[in-house]
Structure 1
Amino acid sequence: MSQHKVVLLLGSNLGDQKKNVELALEKIKDAGNIISQTSEFLISEPVEFASSNIFCNIAAIIFTHLSPIQLLDCMKGIEVEMGRINDSKVLGGYTDRVIDIDIITFNKLNFTSERLIIPHKKHLFERDFSRILLKDFI
């Protein structure tokens, strides 16, 4: 089984945001993935929705044996386990969240399915906070 290099973005704007992100990283590691690098934490305003809750964000490079869909299922499982009730795709928009884990790149793969698009173009090209976090990762 080969290892895949994946870049993730994690964010939280409910509860103890930094602690939520740190717990999510632990759960990613506990799921059998190797975390090789993380960015500094970045505090940012919500993007594409209105909220008075600020975000704590971080980028991470992980190595995984999982396929893109298996990794997506793993990340969604962690989000649910940590208390995230509503997924943005299901709602058709963004809301406050305990944790959000996005797959940004997966090796150099271009992948499109109903549930997942890699690379994550909004984070790579449209969102300022993402470009700051990803500048040393992409």
Structure 2
Amino acid sequence: MSQHKVVLLLGSNIGNQKNNIDIALSKISKVCSILKKSEYLTSEPVEFASCNIFCNIATIISTHLSPIQLLDYVKKIEIEMGRLTDSSASKIYTDRIIDIDIVKYDELKFVSERLEIPHNKHLFEREFSRILLKEFI
């Protein structure tokens, strides 16, 4: 099985945000190798109003999973951790215990109903993402 280099962004703005991210990273590491992590960064919510500040981190992983298999795996983690709504499906952004986005997958360009790689909003539009990703991209 070939290994793929993937950039993920994780964020949380409910409860103990850093702990939520660490739990998600631990779950990811059961199937993927974590190669590098950024520092934690706090940011205001983007595209919705909330009193809760986000904690975010970027990570590079190595995985044998296909893009859709990886998406299914991170969505399963989000649900296991208590995430109730999926903003990519509903197009409505709300507070969340964990959010895991696939930003890049090797140099693949991929678009489906559920997934777009690269994740252009994180690469070009969101300031917190650009800060986290500057050393990875």
- The TM-score normalised by the length of structure 1 is 0.98
> Does the 8 Å contact 2:89/2:114 carry over to 1?
no
SS in 2 for 1:11: strand
Counterparts of 1:127 and 1:89, CA distance in 2 = 16
Q: Gaps (5+ residues) in structure 2?
A: none
| Amino acid in the other structure paired with 2:27 | K
Which residue of 2 is the match for residue 74 of structure 1?
73
| Amino acid in the other structure paired with 2:84 | I
Counterparts of 2:118 and 2:91, CA distance in 1 = 20
SS in 2 for 1:5: strand
| Amino acid in the other structure paired with 2:32 | N
Which residue of 2 is the match for residue 136 of structure 1?
135
Which residue of 1 is the match for residue 113 of structure 2?
114
The structural deviation recorded for 1:21 is 0.3
Counterparts of 1:80 and 1:92, CA distance in 2 = 17
The structural deviation recorded for 1:91 is 2.2
The structural deviation recorded for 1:90 is 2.8
Q: Gaps (5+ residues) in structure 1?
A: none
Which residue of 2 is the match for residue 16 of structure 1?
16
| Amino acid in the other structure paired with 1:76 | K
| Amino acid in the other structure paired with 1:20 | N
| Amino acid in the other structure paired with 2:5 | K
| Amino acid in the other structure paired with 1:2 | S
Which residue of 2 is the match for residue 88 of structure 1?
87
Superimposed CA distance per residue, residues 21-74 of structure 1 (whole angstroms, 9 cap, x where no aligned partner): 0000000001x1000000000000000000000000000000000000000000
The structural deviation recorded for 1:92 is 1.8
Counterparts of 1:128 and 1:89, CA distance in 2 = 19
Q: Give the root-mean-square deviation of aligned CA atoms.
A: 0.5
The structural deviation recorded for 1:89 is 2.3
> 1:39-58, aligned counterparts within 5 Å?
39-58=38-57
Which residue of 2 is the match for residue 6 of structure 1?
6
Counterparts of 1:61 and 1:131, CA distance in 2 = 15
